[in-house]
Structure formats: structure tokens, C-alpha cells
């Protein structure tokens, strides 16, 4: 990366292609997820070293439950291992970790690990790491609306959250899983697919997209640098106004 390259404050990544990567090597899909998880640990360090403040990754969607039982069980086993390792990584990197999505669908031991990880890292501020698990953006928005309706019935909605009788975006965003986190500047999806797959639909409204052909296990620092360079080559505009 060039010396004048501007590093995005917040990068979001759809970790795609683990199963296909394994299939190309005549290995079970679970092997691809294992290697993909190892790469995530490595790339998290690389991304932090680049100066990125926020990283959000799509690890398990609400639709992933439809995969084969063996694959889902393998992913759950991997989550159990990764969440424990993530505690060490969070401490080492002074990294605050937040799980976005609905964890209530996971087995109790995974829910307990999530709470422990979030609690032990809650005071760190060197990097902010969001892992989307049992996450779907439509589900997130519906849960947010439900929470807001409940608060409205209880008379808890602040009057400053409205302007001329209309709900302000800032108030609604408090009910999203990403409350308090800036929207991504750059979204990267690996493995060649060019769709969002129900990922951060609200938050990606003004985000730059980068779709790369390499599967996630092969996405390394060189590919990250290319994505950031592509980001820097674009004129960032918001409503026709160029970002300074």
C-alpha cells in the first residue's frame, strides 16, 4: 500500500468460499471452515496492524441452519473453540468483541461463552471487533422495530428522537445490533459472489463494496491491500457530496 493510502476506519467482511475451497481440494466442507477460522485469526491481527479501528465479519447467518446437520454441528464445534481463543486474542490486542445477531438459538454453552467473551473485553478500546453469529439483517431490523414498539408502549421513547413527528434515524439505530458502531466504510466479500446475503442492509447504505474472486482461506494481506487500494481509488460521495 502506498504511503498516502487512507485506511478505512471500519471494514466489514463476508467470509465466503470455505466449503468450495475445501471441495476443490477433495476435502470435506468442515475442513474449509477450520482453515477459514485460522485465517480469520491471522487476518484480524493484520487488519489491526493496518490501523483499522472496527472490523465486522459475517460468520454464521440465520439461513445457515438450513445446511446439513453434520456441517452445522461442525460449525458449532468450531465456534466453541474460536470463542475461547478469541478471549486470548482480545486480551492481547486490547480488542472489544461484540457478537451481533440473535445468540438465543445457540446451545447454552455457546451463549455462556459469548457473554464471557463480551464481558472480559468490554473495557478494551484499541480495536472493536463484531462477529455476526445467527445474524440476518432483516431479522435485526425486525427485532429493532419490536424493541422500539415495546418502548413506545411503555412511554420510554425520548421526544428528541423525533423531528416534525417523524422518527430520526439516530433513534432507530439505537435498537440495531450495531448501536454505537460507525457504519462500514468498506465491505469485502470473498469467493466471487456479488450479493449482500442479508448482511448489514441498513448499515451498508453508503459503503464501498469490493468483491474478490479468492475464497476466504486464500484471502491474505496482499488481497486486503488490493481491496484498500480499490477503496482509495473511488470518490466517496454522500448524497452527491464528496467526502473530504
pTM score: 0.93
Query: Which of these is catalytic: 16, 177, 183, 185?
Result: 16
For range 176-184, the mean pLDDT: 97
Q: What is the pLDDT of residue 234?
A: 87
DSSP letter assigned to residue 191:
T
Say yes or no to pLDDT of 155 above 60. Answer: yes
119-145 confidence digits (pLDDT tens): 999 999 999 999 999 999 999 999 999
Q: 10 Å Cβ neighbour count for 157? A: 15
Let me know if 45 is a catalytic residue. no
CB-CB contact of 81 with 111 (8 Å): no
Buried residues in 185-221 as b, exposed as e (16+ CB within 10 A): bbbbbbbeeeebebbbebbbeebbbbbbebbbbbbee
Query: Which of these is catalytic: 64, 151, 218, 225?
Result: 64
Say yes or no to pLDDT of 237 above 80. Answer: no
Q: Looking at per-residue confidence, does 241 or 115 come out higher?
A: 115
Let me know if 64 is a catalytic residue. yes
CB-CB contact of 138 with 144 (8 Å): no
- The whole-angstrom separation of Cα 43 and Cα 41 is 6
For range 171-190, the mean pLDDT: 97
Amino acid at each position: 500500500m502506498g504511503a498516502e493510502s487512507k485506511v478505512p476506519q471500519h471494514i466489514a467482511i463476508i467470509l465466503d468460499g470455505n466449503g468450495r475451497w475445501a471441495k476443490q481440494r477433495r476435502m470435506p466442507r468442515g475442513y474449509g471452515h477450520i482453515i477459514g477460522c485460522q485465517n480469520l485469526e491471522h487476518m484480524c491481527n493484520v487488519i489491526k496492524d493496518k490501523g483499522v479501528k472496527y472490523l465486522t465479519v459475517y460468520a454464521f447467518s440465520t439461513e445457515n441452519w438450513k445446511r446439513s446437520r453434520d456441517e452445522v454441528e461442525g460449525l458449532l464445534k468450531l465456534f466453541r473453540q474460536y470463542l475461547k481463543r478469541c478471549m486470548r486474542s482480545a486480551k492481547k490486542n486490547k480488542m472489544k468483541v461484540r457478537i451481533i445477531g440473535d445468540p438465543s438459538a445457540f446451545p447454552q454453552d455457546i451463549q455462556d461463552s459469548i457473554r464471557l467473551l463480551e464481558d472480559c473485553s468490554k473495557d478494551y478500546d484499541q480495536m472493536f471487533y463484531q462477529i455476526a453469529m445467527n445474524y440476518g439483517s432483516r431479522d435485526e431490523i425486525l427485532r429493532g422495530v419490536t424493541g422500539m414498539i415495546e418502548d413506545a408502549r411503555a412511554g420510554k421513547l425520548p421526544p428528541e428522537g423525533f423531528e416534525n413527528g417523524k422518527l430520526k434515524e439516530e433513534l432507530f439505530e439505537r435498537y440495531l445490533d450495531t448501536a454505537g458502531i460507525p457504519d462500514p466504510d468498506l465491505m469485502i466479500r470473498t469467493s466471487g459472489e456479488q450479493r449482500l446475503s442479508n448482511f448489514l442492509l441498513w448499515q451498508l447504505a453508503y459503503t464501498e463494496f469490493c468483491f474478490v474472486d479468492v475464497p476466504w482461506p486464500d484471502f491474505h494481506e496482499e488481497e486486503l491491500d488490493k481491496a484498500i487500494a480499490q477503496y482509495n481509488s473511488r470518490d466517496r460521495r454522500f448524497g452527491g457530496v464528496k467526502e473530504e
